[in-house]
Structure 1
């Protein structure tokens, strides 16, 4: 029997001693391995020892793709949440122990150590390729889970039990409150809005779930997002505990519907729209108020538009004439004249509380609805 066979046999006989020793080094220095079963780690060490024994006998380093131990163990560790740099750190503990054993045995050690480094390169190449593939597969699976979770919330088909399981799989924190978000671009693709909301989520602590569903960007966020463009409506539900997310999505739907009818953009929740959310759905009332307050003024042509501008500014400034005049801007007497013409054309007094309510309704809602 030649020296390489003797060395391979001797190294093989030490596998049962090397495996627990290497395991001890790994768990002492790599925290992510605390959740990896000891039997899994020791089995991987024994398999690497067996690979090196074959390497010693043949004198040939196998191509990366044929190192099945690297593929199997790296896939397993990826599923166990071990980062790739920790996998390679653990591998170095294993090869270091094997190198020391070879040097201790002293049989053609230098040539074997040289082969061992070449094997390490091939092993590393295999792990990197598998881990990259696992990352892609994991990302795709996480995206699928996110979309199914959000679809279930959108169509109210997610039971309490399924919601808890799905939220846990997506790493949502049960102690944190979340709000539904539905972003609708008035034109163009939804992808830019999704990317911008993802960037905002990356800047905030906690986990967010976002996906493009149809023409909308739908999500669950632990924060109130900023506007993402001049032509995007972001409808928000209230911030609620995880089990109440369905309620948040119902509220976001109300805001989205009202905001779309009102031609709004920017970020809005129910408290921002207030009575306008309900008014946007009052079709018959909208028509009546439009006929009472808007149509007679609009019949005056361009001057009618100036009158409505004056009334809107007057109401927005809490009926303060000087402030409203500065907003437009016009002279206070000009503003008063336009307000008077509004009263003449509509037959309604702006000193009446009922008129103020109805005109606010008409200007804020009826002008935007059919």
Structure 2
């Protein structure tokens, strides 16, 4: 009994599988750079399996449901883990099907199939191509979600290890490298507090900023705050959001940068500051914010006498604050308030009378700056 046309064509195609695989690998290598990370043997084995699948479809005369094409799922998951984007996976598959189409046409002539049988079997092969493509898209989308969740989990574990001090030394460097942080680029530790209770909007804004910069950043929501490692200084995200930065350091010193970022976060919170803040922005205020006993002393020396004056005391404190902020320029301070310069001078004299200090004294200026900038904001 003579063999069916489909059987003849499938047999001839199967015999060409090794040659098709070699041809497709050469085309992929020449045209798709991301496949450099995929071993040659894996690419060729995948192509051979596609050829065998097409042979099975020709023999059966039907195309399986997309979810039943096992090779599509296994190959797509493997390429996703190797970092090959979906458009490159689809490009490579088109090379495979193009080579299979050419081989089918040559094999059809070789085994003597008529035009009707040839067209019908080629149409069946392309129906398999549609089913394969549908499975690849579904699998890649799921793999993309799984990879994103895994990346977020690893990022959170990495940041928690830095925050609690358990990730140090060689282990820190290894974990940072696994997250693709560039070991040649200094990174800032980041601690951020959103204006509200939801860290999501702040996290997404910082991620958008990271996407605009070169290099890799690691960011995650930790409780009601955001923690991260970034190779750039972020832009302000909103007046009430606070982003505290540690110094830019090599990866192995990130634990120290996180300690600084925490100190900046605490001091900035005490000072009622928002925006993006680093230690150099706070200067002496970072230490002063933690000086509890000195805060109490200066509160009694400079603020308590003003509080006893009621509304007038508020005006006096405002006058001194603006005077110091304007580098002790009476004309500029008067314009900023705004009041007449003589009114400002009167209030400054009353401050000196009430506190028993002189605003010409360097030590007084330091202490009053400390009191107005720090103590007034602390309990």
Q: TM-score range by the shorter chain?
A: over 0.9
CA–CA distance in structure 1, aligned partners of residues 8 and 375 of structure 2: 93
CA–CA distance in structure 1, aligned partners of residues 207 and 266 of structure 2: 24
Bigger drift between 229-238 and 136-145 goes to 229-238
How many aligned positions are there?
Answer: 370
CA–CA distance in structure 1, aligned partners of residues 238 and 360 of structure 2: 39
1:230 Cα deviation (Å)?
2.1
Identify unmatched segments of 5+ residues in structure 1. none
- Per-residue CA deviation, residues 190-211 of structure 1 (Å, 9 max, x unaligned), is 1111111112112222111111
Residue of 72, 76, 79 corresponding to 1:77: 79
Aligned to 2:269: 260
Aligned to 1:18: 20
> Counterparts in 2 of 1:192-271, with a 5 A limit?
192-271=201-280
CA–CA distance in structure 2, aligned partners of residues 33 and 122 of structure 1: 23
Classify the secondary structure of the residue corresponding to 2:189: strand
CA–CA distance in structure 2, aligned partners of residues 198 and 352 of structure 1: 48
Q: Tell me the TM-score normalised to structure 1 length.
A: 0.97
Identify unmatched segments of 5+ residues in structure 2. none
Aligned to 2:167: 158
CA–CA distance in structure 2, aligned partners of residues 82 and 226 of structure 1: 32
CA–CA distance in structure 2, aligned partners of residues 193 and 132 of structure 1: 26
CA–CA distance in structure 1, aligned partners of residues 119 and 251 of structure 2: 61
- Per-residue CA deviation, residues 189-246 of structure 1 (Å, 9 max, x unaligned), is 1111111111211222211111110111111111111221222221111111211111
Aligned to 2:153: 144
1:285 has 2:294 as partner = yes
Aligned to 1:326: 335
Which consecutive aligned stretches of 4+ in structure 1 deviate over 6 angstroms post-superposition? none
Residue of 28, 50, 72 corresponding to 2:30: 28
- Per-residue CA deviation, residues 70-124 of structure 1 (Å, 9 max, x unaligned), is 1111111111121111111111111111111111122232111101111110000
Query: 8 Å contact 2:168–2:255 — kept in the other structure?
Result: no
Bigger drift between 158-167 and 131-140 goes to 158-167
- Please provide the CA RMSD for this pair: 1.2
Aligned to 2:181: 172
Aligned to 1:296: 305
Aligned to 2:94: 92
CA–CA distance in structure 1, aligned partners of residues 301 and 39 of structure 2: 76
1:152 Cα deviation (Å)?
1.0
Bigger drift between 235-244 and 17-26 goes to 17-26
Query: 8 Å contact 2:187–2:254 — kept in the other structure?
Result: yes
CA–CA distance in structure 2, aligned partners of residues 363 and 342 of structure 1: 13
1:186 Cα deviation (Å)?
4.4
1:120 has 2:129 as partner = yes
Residue of 312, 317, 324 corresponding to 2:321: 312
1:359 Cα deviation (Å)?
0.6
CA–CA distance in structure 2, aligned partners of residues 225 and 158 of structure 1: 24
